[in-house]
Amino acid sequence: MIFGRIEDREHIEFLPPSVLQCFDCCQSGKLGELEKGSHEISGENIFVNIVEYETGDRAEKARDSDRDASDDPQGDF
């Protein structure tokens, strides 16, 4: 996990060049122009997947069976 703002590049220059290419891709503003599917950033090892889906009404969805009320301190489910 990287915490910070994408505009603060000077704080992430220590990362490998392939990871910095991911930031460059995000900053280019071209992600929104890509069609759905997988797109290489740096060969087949660094890529972005563009997906699209619709969410449903929360009331119509079953809750996760592996969770119980103790997992949700705010009681949201």
Kindly state the tokens that stand for 46.
């660094």
Domains of the chain: total: 1
How do residues 14-70 score in pLDDT, each as one tens digit? 998 888 888 888 888 888 899 999 999 888 888 999 999 888 888 887 776 665 556
Query: Is 21 contained in some domain?
Result: yes
Query: Is 19 contained in some domain?
Result: yes
Q: Which domain holds residue 27?
A: 9-50
Query: Is 44 contained in some domain?
Result: yes
Provide the pLDDT for residue 64.
65
d(CA 24, CA 69): 42
CB 59 within 8 A of CB 77: no
Provide the pLDDT for residue 38.
94
Query: Is 77 contained in some domain?
Result: no
Provide the pLDDT for residue 60.
80
Query: Is 55 contained in some domain?
Result: no
d(CA 34, CA 25): 11
pTM of the model: 0.55
